[in-house]
Amino acid sequence: MFDEIMEKFEGSPSQQAVIRLLLERGFSVNDDGRVVSGGIEIPNTGIAREIDVDRRVVDSTTTAILEDEELRRIFQNISSIPSLMDLAPVLDLSVLTIEPNDAEQSGIVAEVTSRIADRGISIRQTISEDPEFTDEPKLYIVTDEPIPGDLLNELSGLAFVRRISIA
């Protein structure tokens, strides 16, 4: 799906940068062509400054989104989810990061979370990056307590795990 969206802006790397930012941040586009997060409007100048493009590029991108029925449905229904990952050190939480060999393999989240739950460790949040939206998707698991070393070794030994890290 990500590739299909980006193809619609194939001739404009600047517009692709706007699309990438909207998707990464979970920003939507309202009926007036304004970028919003929930009901809060985000000025196009701020978006342009963030990705180093002209404000008019943001305007033209949101106009193109509203003119394309498929894009309109996507960008009017996207939303962001708050992440505990950056707050983990402040809240005394741990973050386990799994980099799979093949993120499209089924059962990765179930296998990892089951093994953590079997140890009685509370999972506060899981975030899995979509292989369609990122080149090297990862699975992030935020827990109430650190993952013990033997469990890290066990998880590292799973066939689908390419790399594992903790924070």
Identify the CATH number of the domain in which residue 113 sits.
3.30.70.260
Residues 104 and 161 reside in one and the same domain: yes
CB atoms within 10 A of CB 23: 19
Query: Could you tell me the two tokens for 102?
Result: 């093949």
Would you give the distance in Å from CA 132 to the centre of its chain?
11
**32 is in which domain, residue-wise?**
2-75
Mean pLDDT of the chain: 94
Strands 139-143 and 123-128: antiparallel
49 phi and psi angles, rounded to 5 deg:
-65, -40
Is residue 104 over pLDDT 90? Answer: no
For 26, left (φ over 0), alpha (ψ -120 to 50), or beta?
left
pLDDT at 82: 87
Is residue 133 over pLDDT 80? Answer: no
Is residue 132 over pLDDT 90? Answer: no
pLDDT at 131: 82
Say how far apart CA 149 and CA 69 lie, in whole Å: 50
Would you give the distance in Å from CA 83 to the centre of its chain?
10
For residues 112-126, average pLDDT: 97
Residues 71 and 93 reside in one and the same domain: no
How many domains does the chain contain in total?
2
Per-residue pLDDT band for 24 (boundaries 50, 70, 90) equals confident
- Residue 99 host element (H or E): strand 94-100
3-state secondary structure 103-146: CCCCCHHHHHHHHHHHCCCCEEEEEECCCCCCCCCCEEEEECCC
Does any domain span residue 24? yes
User: Minimal CA–CA distance to 81: which of 143, 26, 139?
Assistant: 26
Q: What percent of the chain has pLDDT over 90?
A: 86
Residues 92 and 156 reside in one and the same domain: yes
Residues 62 and 98 reside in one and the same domain: no
Per-residue pLDDT band for 41 (boundaries 50, 70, 90) equals very high
